[in-house]
Structure 1
Amino acid sequence: MPLFAVPRPDLAERELARALAAGPFSRALSLAIDRSGLGLARLRDRLAAAGVPVSTTTLSYWRTGRTRPERPDSLRAVALLEDVLGVPARALTELLARPGHPGTPDPVRWERLWGPRNGVLPALRSFEAAEETSLVVVNLHEELHVGADRSLTRLRVREVVRAVEEPVQAKVVALRGCAPGHPPRLVSTRYCRAVRTEVLPEPGFVLSELVPSRSLSVGETAILEYEFAYTDGVPDTSYDRRFRHPVAGHLLEVHFAPDSLPATCHGYRLDSPGGPERDVTAVALTPAAPAHLFTSGAGPGIRGLRWSWPS
């Protein structure tokens, strides 16, 4: 027998070694962080002490594959992480240089989703959480109701969110009414509370900043439920949701009055307001069930349903 027995690497070590050899970068980084036992806040502090500040949000995005380090400062941070996490020099850096592992685009700007001259933009920018939120939507379920008069009546939303940065702040929800001068109203919340609401009467917008009912640590999830009531009574023919970040699952239900169904209905995606409709999908209409659109792995952009009423 050998004088000194060399222990076999455990499963975690083998998985890390495999990820460092084959990639992708996000998996290798995530496994290295898990092995180190260091939280994202401690990694952030280590990097800041070395003169390369990186937020815990960015570190979370790197480890989940939401974004990849590409700028010179980010690559310096990765080189420092190799030392802090105890992986071989350039092991993570070389994974970034490999072809076939394109980065995920950064979150899109509000201007792309609402248009550069939309009146809601100044109000959005006044919310700190609207630009650098510490909560990211993982799953979204929307339930829109349309009355017999063809006007939108209420919108119920259930979200699963994940904390990606400490301290957890809030998220901002923006909803537009169907006619100027009559913005929707936030009428209820569950598992969260509204800490600030701004109403823009003329363009017909309402913006609410929602905070989870309990404090969250990085990586934890929470459920947010809220409901808006429409106040304009104007017939409408569409509803959409704007996504800055990818979302694992999005379910949109539209409940029409059984005796007042549209003639046609279809789902669509837009890259920006006024752009051509993409991924157009016919949606069935029946009095027995709501029209619905489900999207798995929805990327940034605008997704919704559009319908037409009988003449």
Structure 2
Amino acid sequence: MPLFAVHSPGRREQLADALAAGPFSRALSLAIDLSGLGLARLKDRLAVAGAPVSTTTLSYWRTGRTRPERPESLRAVTVLEDVLGLPAGSLTGLLARPDGGPSPAGLVHWERLWGPRNGVVPVLNSFDAADDPALVVLSLHESLHVRADRSLARLRVREVVRAAAEPVQAKVVTLRGCVAGTPPRLVATRYCVPGRTEVLPEQGFLISELVLSRSLAEGETAILEYEFEYTDGVPDTSYDRRFRHPVAEHLQEVHFDPDALPSSCHAFRLESPDGPERESAEVVVSPVVPAHVFRTGVAPGILGMRWSWPAR
């Protein structure tokens, strides 16, 4: 018998409606409340079933702060259906709906930023830190350097982050090279060290977990600095940064060689890789200062700069 059957018909009807119409977070929250099980007991039962999930993650799921996306998380939802006495597929079916849209708190899915068939998405979803919104980016400053031969040389990044929930210690960064077969290299870090790193040479991707020297308590801030080196030597005409979470401020610089300046440069925003460019604006190109764009209140999406080279 379902665990929630002992409660009032009104609550059961609310759960039935939520299982039929969603969203996932409401259905899960009602099911947990009606089961009489606390998050700690649910965590223990999931662990016994071989599908461990932290109480913080369970709390995020039921409040809508995040949605289960990784294969391990989806398996845990299947176990939750059994533990909570729900029909098989009732919760996972809500997650599978194509109109699920962005998660609350401004979080969007990796598929929107990279495309649903991009091979980098399942790798990103396999990183625990990639699915955790607890490390909020307050400020992001990135500096891209372009060689005189028009190829990308290096990318230097400085982030200020704040822990928004339980102690958190890592975040995941991703960079794609200009051509397949030649991914960038992570060559330097400061105030953090590389953890798990995955290279996708066929697609030119590098994905790395950056680990802070210690866990941050809720509300604490930290600085991360890291540098990538491009090695393909191929001339390029654009660079972008993909934001899964809102960011308070973002400074994007492109340093061109003074003897090899582009003929034009503009900033753009995309909602998805195949979407039209939005918020397009001309960017000044000068031999003495970098081309740059400063933004505040950045919403999730793709922000970048594109430039054109003069004919040789």
How does the TM-score come out when normalised to structure 2? 0.68
Matched pairs, number: 227
Once the 2 structures are TM-superposed, how far is the Cα of residue 168 of structure 1 from its aligned partner? 1.1
Structure 2: gaps spanning 5 or more residues? 1-37, 43-53, 67-102
SS in 2 for 1:178: coil
Aligned to 1:145: 145
The equivalent of 1:300 in structure 2 is 300
The equivalent of 2:166 in structure 1 is 166
Conserved 8 A contact 1:133-1:170: no
Q: Is the CA contact 1:252–1:294 (under 8 Å) kept in the aligned structure 2?
A: yes
State the shift of 1:149 in Å: 0.4
The aligned counterpart of 1:134 is 134
Paired with 2:112 and 2:104, the residues of 1 have a C-alpha distance of: 17
Residue 128 (structure 1) shift: 1.1
- Is the Cα–Cα contact under 8 Å of residues 192 and 225 in structure 1 kept in the other structure? yes
1:183 aligns with 2:183: yes
Q: What's the offset of the Cα at 1:278?
A: 0.4
- Matched with 2:56 is 55
Looking at structure 2, the residues matched to 211 and 246 of structure 1 have their Cα atoms a distance apart, in angstroms, of: 21
Q: Distance in 2 between matches of 1:129 and 1:214?
A: 15
Q: Which residue of 1 aligns with 2:236?
A: 236
Give the letter for the 1:301 counterpart. Answer: G
- Contact kept, 8 Å, 1:139 with 1:159, in 2: the verdict is yes
SS of equivalent to 1:113: helix
By how many angstroms is 1:270 displaced? 0.3
> CA offset at residue 169 of structure 1?
3.6
CA distance in 2, matches of 1:200, 1:56: 28
Contact 1:248 1:296 in 2 (8 A): yes
1:224-254 Cα distance to aligned partner (Å, 9 max, x none): 0000000100011110000111100000000
Q: Following the alignment from structure 2 to structure 1, what is the Cα–Cα distance between the partners of residues 300 and 107?
A: 7
Change in CA separation of 1:279 and 1:67 when aligned onto 2, cut-off 3 Å: farther
Q: d(CA) in 1 for partners of 2:159 and 2:117? A: 29
Q: Secondary structure at the match of 2:113?
A: helix
The 8 Å contact of residues 197 and 208 in structure 2, kept in 1 or not, is answered as yes
How far 1:283 moved relative to its partner?
0.3
Specify whether residues 234 and 57 from structure 1 end up closer, same or farther in structure 2 by C-alpha distance, changes over 3 A only.
farther
What's the offset of the Cα at 1:214? 2.8
Distance in structure 2 (CA, Å) of the matches to 1:212 and 1:133:
16
Task: Write the distance in 1 (CA, Å) between the matches of 2:57 and 2:292.
Answer: 36
Name the CA distance, whole Å, in 2 between partners of 1:57 and 1:190.
Answer: 33
Local SS of the residue matching 2:130: helix
Task: Say yes or no: does 1:260 pair with 2:221.
Answer: no
Conserved 8 A contact 1:56-1:165: no
Equivalent residues in 2 for 1:1-311, closer than 5 Å:
48=39, 55=56, 105-311=105-311
Q: CA RMSD in A?
A: 2.6
Deviation at 1:308, TM superposition (A): 0.6
CA distance in 2, matches of 1:57, 1:105: 16
Judge conservation of contact 2:177–2:230 (CA < 8 Å) in 1.
yes
**2:181–2:201: 8 Å Cα contact kept in structure 1?**
yes
Letter of the 2:173 partner, please give it.
Answer: V
CA contact (8 A) 1:134 1:169 kept: no
Distance change >3 Å, CA 143–CA 58, structure 1 → 2: farther
Q: Are the counterparts in 1 of residues 159 and 225 from structure 2 also a CA contact under 8 Å? A: yes
